[in-house]
Chain A
Amino acid sequence: MTATLAPTLIRQDGRDKVTGSGRYAADLTVTGMLHGAFRVAEVPHARIRRLDTTAARALPGVYAIITAADVPEVRYGAFLKDRTIFARDVVRWEGELIAAVAAATPEIAAQAAALIEVDLEPLLAVTDLETATRPDAPLVHAEWATYEADENLVRDGNLASRSTIVKGDADGGMADAYIVVKDRYVADGSHAVPIEPRAILAEWQGDHVTIWSSTQVPFAARSGVAETLGMPQNQVRVIVPHLGGGFGAKCELGFEPQVAALAQTAGRPVKVVFSRREEFLLPDHRRERMILELETGVRRDGTIVARRAHLIIDNGAYSMDEPFLGQMAAMFAVGPYRIPNVDVSADVVYTNTQPSGSVRAPTGPTTCWALEQHHDVVAERLGLDPVEFRRRNLVHEGDTGPTGQVFERIGALETLEHAAAAIGWGRPLPDGEAIGIATGWWPSFPGASGANVTINADGSGTIVTGAQECGTGAVMALPILAAEVLGMRPDEFRILYQDTDAGPYDGGASGSQTTFNNGRAVIAAATEVREQLLDLAADLLEANRADLELIDGMARVKGSQTSSVSIADLASQAAGAGLLLGRGSGEPPPTPAVETANCVGRLGAESFAAPTFFTHAAHVKVDRDTGVVRVLEIAASHESGVVINPIGATGQIYGGVAMGIGQALSEGVLLSEDGRQRNPYLLDYKLQTVADVPPIHVDFVDAPSPTGGPKGLKGIAEPPCVPTPGAIANAIVRAAGSRVRELPMTPERVWRALASTNGEN
């Protein structure tokens, strides 16, 4: 590992969080504050015949009730503007908001919400993914054709988005193949389950509103409020107190407009705090359900010659970022492999269920789980060792990706070799135990981002950033980069973050992009300050500016022990004259050129910028009589460009693996026939506990990317949960003899697979 700048960074927010002195949105109270509650549809599809708030308004302690009639009629959505902040005429999923109530206490608000009379005429609900794609299926949005949408979006009725990847001649490749293997996988939806159920507090003063919200993306929340309530962005201030995790579920516009509108109508500040149950039922970001049909043609030597795939992805009732994610899934269905002939399509379809949206590495773990099982099936049919099969097909520097992008320096193969070595691939194991392996890839997301760096009169530093700390430590690690530029220590900086009126724009804790983009911005801002310091020091030391360096808190003539001045002294001088102020954004690196003439639904994911590669190997034990799987050990090797904060990066891998184990074995949304969640509570939505997480061997492969972030780094937050389910799935087959083609691979599903097959593969 190289470029390690801070082997033991102490997080600035750590003490606040573990001692309880830190404040989260739910902890806040402001003068005159009311409590809000939502009334939701509770049915999957219905026409609103009548909505009567009279009885609810009559309840003592109720201050305001708002519905769609009380807010501007604005349809919004990132790629497809198909939704409103309250239901208008039709409800399309059980969690859709119908009304909001502000009252003196949370109990009165809840009681009043229940008193709102809603007369609903049931409509036929579409919940099954394949049914939704049929021409005769009821339409989730009868008026779909009238919606404003991204011009590259391919849509038709319940089809919200189709993306294809076409390369070479898949039919010809299959015809030439030694064998062709085809199989099918089905995955349930799942949840992000942040430890903090969200809370939103809105307070108006005059024509401007301040919103404290547990969002991962404060700037998207700000622009979303401005768009839906029809106000300029500079009248909306979004502040995020400490955030108790998000994992994607708190991305995009959340419930800020509804609470802001409610507070405006009530004429008082209003706070809404979700219960755990609401955190399951109301958000529009659950991990998508998927059906994956995969087909691969290989030569006798194991070389892949062709890939066909068809994916059906659940969009849910409304479109958040899911239409875009179909294209990501199509890229993952090819995987980091050399495949000359490709024909992949991904259909994102509407259903009357909770909207899908980014949850940590959206579509990644599911597609990798299916593809890497499929690859083991292919290897098995060829009589090839799974590691050897991957070794023969993984991409190298100079190879072209699914859409023709040419790979720069990458370490895909090294991650395979390192993970296999770390787990002891091929070693003998007791009966019922086995090792499985899976490899995957994930893009980085270059984007605009800003930061300001100042040195105060006493020489201490302040970083003001628009970046959002969601618990990963990415924002906490920004001082490492500023400190290196300025010859200071990371602990000499304080960070002001997650206030849209303070920091410049950033895309938020989303897309593993904080260090990649905001790191670049902080370096640019610190570099401006560096220039200012060097100017001052050159005058003071009567030295040539080019001979100076910033080191150990001083500016000094390179190599000299005597000719130096402390940064604190320089700062003190500057305080009376030209202040030490730096602002930075930097230029996002370019995305690779691609060849996509034959592809449709190009929404930006056709080019994987600074892609990261990784392999996990899982050692499991299967209880054959019960189907219960225990993960005994994981080896995780990641090529993430370079790692600048090993504690943070390693922590991401621990957390990603733990999440990956949950996705593999226990986390799944159980839907009733009519599309309602049957397990929206933690007793029966089973997360993995700390007792279930095995030893994890972490390895980083260095391959600095010329088009990466600072020092050639790539995103690290999402990838660690991607290959874990696939590695576990492949281990289950090797331990117990049966392949489980449903996700999560619950004990009952494993047991059924064992019972229904005799070593079928």
Chain B
Amino acid sequence: MGGRFTSPTALADALAATAAGHRPVAGGTDLVVGTRQGKWSLPEDLVALDRIEELRGIEETSGGLRIGATTSHADLAGHPAIRKRWTAIADAASIVGSPATRHIGTLGGNLANASPAAETSGPLLCFDAQVEVRSTAGSRRIALADLFNGPGRTTVRSDELIVAVELSELAGVGSSYVRLEFRRQMEIAVVGATAVVSLDGAIVIDARIAITALAPTVRRVAVAEFALVGTDGGPDAAAEAGRLAAEAATPISDVRASLEYRRAMAAVVVRRAVTGAIARARGETIPIPASASLFGAR
């Protein structure tokens, strides 16, 4: 009641509204659903970002990709370069919510919501994504690793908008994102894992492993990455990485699962993510999304 709603087409107007205290809304898949669920009240003043052309779209740059903040999950999941070279992002974006969620929900919104269960965060973290935020005062870049402060908290100031995510090319990597899924659509990560690997011949020379919904924020697990480097990435190495990641995880018990189950699943899901990433690095086909392709994999 009495709230203001603006729906500008120019980014400058959106920045001005944000500076004036309007809360940004993109797809609304977190904001509106959370309101209905009683998590929070709908903000009095809203600025809608969906009509701002320059915030949407995926652009191939000399060194990699620039992804507009209001690019939908469906657009991410369907983009040829992402599917080929940043495959874990396509794995993640293609399993967010339902087809409806993926068409309306945005990458920037997913990051701003800062859920420890956010699908795209793990892959972006492993790909060293940089987040460009802007305010009326100017713009700055935040490494994804520095974006999250805790569950639902980011280092983006209230007068700033996330405008884009930038990725640089990592040559020759294979990657995958795997999530534990109780059903085939409308799922939320109870346990998720990302693996990004580079091979030299048969040997892993670089490994990045992130765990999702297993800590207050999505985070990388150095001990598991370290253990994987120098191995052949085979079943034993993948299982060891899984074991170490599970040990490093700090899961909770809640309505979705017990701590004990989550930790056990961390080992399984990390193992599968590594298996998927290694296979893709070798040029083998693991169809997107990897979660479904690796269902039941021992």
Contact = CB atoms under 8 A, between A and B. Distances in A.
A684 B296 contact: no
A624 interface: yes
B183 A681 contact: no
Contacts of A688: 183
Contacts of A691: 183-185
Contacts of B298: 624-625
Contact of A679 (B181, B183, B255): B255
A751 B295 contact: no
A690 B185 CA distance: 8
Nearest to B268: A625
B184 A666 contact: no
A626 B183 contact: no
Interface in B103-119: none
Give the interface centre of A630, A688, A748 by most chain B CB atoms within 10 Å: A748
Contacts of A624: 296, 298
A276 B36 contact: yes
B244 to A, nearest CB: 17
Contact of A277 (B37, B256, B258, B265): B37
Interface string A607-635: 00000000000000111111010100000
A416 to B, nearest CB: 29
Given A628-B295, A630-B295, A686 B1 contact: no
B147 interface: no
B20 interface: no
A623 B295 contact: yes
Contacts of B36: 275-276
Given A628-B182, A628-B295, A678 B255 contact: yes
B182 A666 contact: yes
B257 to A, nearest CB: 6
Contact of A751 (B1, B185, B261, B296): B261
Given A275-B36, A624-B298, A625-B268, A689 B184 contact: yes
A402 B257 CA distance: 41
A690 B257 CA distance: 24
Interface in B214-272: 255-258, 261, 264-265, 268
A432 interface: yes
A622 B297 CA distance: 11
Interface string B175-196: 0000011111110100000000
Contacts of A684: 255-256
B182 A747 contact: yes
Contacts of B1: 107
B98 interface: yes
Contacts of A595: none
Nearest to A275: B36
Nearest to B186: A689
Contacts of B184: 630, 689, 691-692
B98 A626 contact: no
A666 B295 CA distance: 18
B191 to A, nearest CB: 9
Q: How large is the interface on B (under 10, 10 to 19, 20 to 34, 35 or more residues)?
A: 20 to 34
B201 interface: no
Interface string B82-116: 00000000000000001000000000000000000
A663 interface: no
B3 interface: no
A686 B180 CA distance: 14
B180 A628 contact: yes
Contacts of A670: 255
Nearest to A749: B261
B272 to A, nearest CB: 9
A500 interface: no
A692 B183 contact: yes
B63 interface: no
A512 interface: no
A626 B297 CA distance: 10
Interface in B30-73: 36-38
Interface string B7-25: 0000000000000000000
A683 interface: yes
A107 B1 CA distance: 10
Contacts of A689: 98, 183-186
A746 B182 contact: yes
A421 B146 CA distance: 59
Give the interface centre of A107, A622, A688 by most chain B CB atoms within 10 Å: A688
Interface of B: 1, 36-38, 98, 180-186, 188, 255-258, 261, 264-265, 268, 295-298
Given A679-B255, A692-B184, A751-B261, 7 more contacts: A623-B295, A628-B180, A628-B295, A670-B255, A684-B255, A690-B185, A748-B258
21 contacts: A275-B36, A432-B296, A625-B268, A626-B265, A626-B268, A628-B182, A630-B184, A679-B255, A683-B37, A683-B188, A684-B255, A688-B183, A689-B183, A689-B184, A689-B186, A691-B185, A692-B183, A692-B185, A746-B182, A748-B261, A751-B261
Interface of A: 107, 275-277, 432, 621-626, 628, 630, 665-666, 670, 678-679, 681, 683-684, 686, 688-692, 746-748, 751-752
Which 4 A-B pairs rank lowest in CB-CB distance, beginning with the nearest? A691-B184, A691-B185, A623-B296, A689-B185
